[in-house]
Amino acid sequence: MDLHSLHDIPHSEERFTGYLKEICETFEFDDAAYAGINPVGGTMHAIVTYNEDWQNHYQENGLHLIDPTLHSAMRSVAPVDWSRLGRNANFRKVFDTARDFGIGEFGMTVPIRGPYGEFGMLSVTRDCDAATWKKLKRNVIADIQPVAAHIHDHVMGSEPLTKFLHHPNLSRREKEILQWIAAGKSQQDIADILCISSRTVEVHLRSARQKLFALTTAQAVGRAIGMSIIYPS
Amino acid sequence: MDLHSLHDIPHSEERFTGYLKEICETFEFDDAAYAGINPVGGTMHAIVTYNEDWQNHYQENGLHLIDPTLHSAMRSVAPVDWSRLGRNANFRKVFDTARDFGIGEFGMTVPIRGPYGEFGMLSVTRDCDAATWKKLKRNVIADIQPVAAHIHDHVMGSEPLTKFLHHPNLSRREKEILQWIAAGKSQQDIADILCISSRTVEVHLRSARQKLFALTTAQAVGRAIGMSIIYPS
DNA sequence: TTAGCTATTAGGGAAATCCCGTAGTTTTGG
DNA sequence: CCAAAACTACGGGATTTCCCTAATAGCTAA
């Protein structure tokens, strides 16, 4: 996820806000926010319980570009506990202002990665002292990832395109050759490697493009990677 | 992850087996297995505590191709509880044989997805009755994902290439143009869209290829998608 | 002010890709 | 056994990509 994309994210989707509010009540958080992107459908989602003023401020000032909670989550497999982030200039810039809006600096952000490249982040926060946060964190740690996964599934599952996700039936040869293309080999290279004619390579690529509904081979590579049929290399 | 790839996975890496054994002791599992793939480095990993006979049987019979625990985990964000899988022909095929090797049909598989497209699965199993499994599952559910993430990080972090993972500094124009390439547009198309010369498009693509260390534009597309710089489209 | 980076543009031509169509052989699944 | 899919291969030629080389202008940070 490119953080620039977050600027274009649509306004909080109210139909899911209830879920986040329920989480806040259940786990005693003040606020929660979910941001998600589905590369296959090219869609983005946001759900936020924060008040309008903070939302506007955050967006207008492009705080997502420097927010260390987001940056860390993007590079992490596990949930990111804000209290473990360095209190550097960016952190201060975000959270000193947040305080004016009643938002504290204790929270956590849970990255969620799905099988088709979907990516989401669930952030939850509570304005409290360190000891309370430590206790709250321990109480919710068991549930936060399943909860995040649940929200993510719900949001992604609300997209028609995801439901339509049809796994194309590439032959083994087609996959193999497309993988070599992704590795930077030319058709002639691949022909030499596989001891076949370059015209045969061309035929397989054409077939693969058709099955992937791709106009070009580069597009086919991209789609196949997006569907985990082949891998970057 | 293409399940065919698992056939080529190297033998269990003994230097990490201790971790899995520790997990088995701590959480009272009989066996554990981790399989991971790092697309950027093109590497695969396996760590297994199962006995040699089952390992050989599993591999020789290509059971990974039909193992529903693997298939489900690949399509899931959350951990997959085996007891919730349908007892269909494939399940029976795997687990009726497993029983002969002392492996029960209660377990779970945790998918782990990293920020650079790394993917892993941690499977743990216990030969017991349903009630015991239900209790054990409840006991470990809080810790299983962090543990899986920990193992995954360790295995992936053991690769020199991962440490070298340098996020290339593509300019905005380079990203934009590469995204259009991934959308199937030709250089001339892109020039028309952006109201620039196709020779300019060509220059940006060359620069992008260089920054991504790619031999071809298709390879550059693949790598950029793998790094989430651009998206399939 | 200077250096580095980005964005823009072009010439000439070789190499590669792709289009469109065709066809034989082998393998696979019902 | 049979039909469909996969694998193999080709002709002819249009189109696109990419190589190599070169240059200017604007912006930003030191």
Q: What average pLDDT does range B4-21 have in this prediction?
A: 66
| Whether B115 and B69 share a structural domain | yes
What is the per-residue pLDDT for B164? Answer: 41
Q: Which of B137, B163, B189 is the last residue of a domain?
A: B163
| pLDDT reading at B125 higher than 70 | yes
Query: Chain B within 8 Å of A182 (Cβ-Cβ)?
Result: yes
| Whether B177 and B69 share a structural domain | no
| Total of domains in chain A | 2
What is the per-residue pLDDT for B169? Answer: 82
- For residue A187, the domain's CATH number is 1.10.10.10
Q: Name the least confident of A109-113, A124-128, A167-171.
A: A167-171
| Whether B185 and B101 share a structural domain | no
What is the per-residue pLDDT for B142? Answer: 80
What is the per-residue pLDDT for A188? Answer: 95
| Whether A40 and A73 share a structural domain | yes
With bands split at pLDDT 50, 70 and 90, how would you rate the model's confidence at B233? Answer: confident
Give domain status of residue B233, yes or no: no
| pLDDT reading at A110 higher than 50 | yes
Residue A104 to chain B, least CA–CA distance (Å) = 26
Q: Which of A120, A139, A163 is the last residue of a domain?
A: A163
| Whether A106 and A60 share a structural domain | yes
Calculated CA dihedral for residues B150, B151, B153, B157, nearest 10 degrees: 140
For residue A152 the two structure tokens come to: 């993510």
E strand segments, chain A? 31-38, 43-48, 80-81, 106-113, 119-126
Is the Cβ pair A42, B117 closer than 8 Å?
A: no
Q: How far is the CA of A229 from the C1' of D4 (A)?
A: 23
Is the Cβ pair B218, A215 closer than 8 Å?
A: no
The DSSP string of B58-107 is: HHHTTGGGT-HHHHHHHT-SS-EEGGGS---HHHHHHHHHHHHTT--SEE
d(CA B182, CA A187): 19
| Whether A85 and A179 share a structural domain | no
With bands split at pLDDT 50, 70 and 90, how would you rate the model's confidence at B186? Answer: very high
| Whether A41 and A135 share a structural domain | yes
Q: Name the least confident of A8-17, A127-136, A150-159.
A: A8-17
- For residue B117, the domain's CATH number is 3.30.450.80
Q: How far is the CA of B61 from the C1' of D1 (A)?
A: 29
| Whether B142 and B182 share a structural domain | no
Give domain status of residue A69, yes or no: yes
d(CA A124, CA A106): 9
Give the closest of A141, A226, A232 to B142, CB-based. A141
Give the closest of B2, B117, B219 to A184, CB-based. B219
Q: ipTM for the complex?
A: 0.64
Collect all residues of chain B within an 8 Å Cβ-Cβ radius of residue A166: none
Angle CA B110–A221–B114, to nearest 5 = 25
With bands split at pLDDT 50, 70 and 90, how would you rate the model's confidence at A124? Answer: very high
What is the per-residue pLDDT for A179? Answer: 94
Is the Cβ pair B76, A115 closer than 8 Å?
A: yes
Which residue of chain B is at minimal alpha-carbon distance from A151?
Answer: B77
Domain span holding position B129? 3-163
| Whether A151 and A188 share a structural domain | no
| Whether B221 and B127 share a structural domain | no
Residues in chain B, total: 233
| pLDDT reading at A166 higher than 70 | no
With bands split at pLDDT 50, 70 and 90, how would you rate the model's confidence at B222? Answer: very high
Q: Hey, of A72, A223, A225, A227, which one would you mutate to test binding to chain B, going by the most B CBs within 10 A of its CB?
A: A225
Is the Cβ pair A232, B40 closer than 8 Å?
A: yes
Average pLDDT, chain B: 83
Q: What average pLDDT does range A28-32 have in this prediction?
A: 92
| pLDDT reading at A15 higher than 80 | no
Note the Cα A151 to chain centre separation in Å: 13
Which residue of chain A is at minimal alpha-carbon distance from B146?
Answer: A78
What is the per-residue pLDDT for A158? Answer: 64
Average pLDDT, chain A: 84
Give domain status of residue A232, yes or no: no
A45 touches strand C (CB under 7 A): no
d(CA B219, CA A184): 5
Give the closest of A40, A115, A222 to B182, CB-based. A222
With bands split at pLDDT 50, 70 and 90, how would you rate the model's confidence at B117? Answer: confident
Q: How far is the CA of B59 from the C1' of C25 (A)?
A: 32
With bands split at pLDDT 50, 70 and 90, how would you rate the model's confidence at B6? Answer: low
Query: How many beta carbons lie within 10 A of that of residue B216, not counting itself?
Result: 18
Q: What average pLDDT does range B16-45 have in this prediction?
A: 83
Q: What average pLDDT does range B108-124 have in this prediction?
A: 87
Q: Where is pLDDT greater, at A21 or A1?
A: A21
Which of A89-98, A112-121, B195-204 has maximum average pLDDT? Answer: B195-204
Q: How far is the CA of A171 from the C1' of D12 (A)?
A: 28
Protein contacts on strand D: list nucleotides below 7 Å from a Cβ: 5-11, 16-19, 21-23
Residues 6+ positions from A95 with CB-CB distance below 8 Å: A103, A105
A194 touches strand D (CB under 7 A): yes
Is the Cβ pair A114, B113 closer than 8 Å?
A: yes
Give domain status of residue B14, yes or no: yes
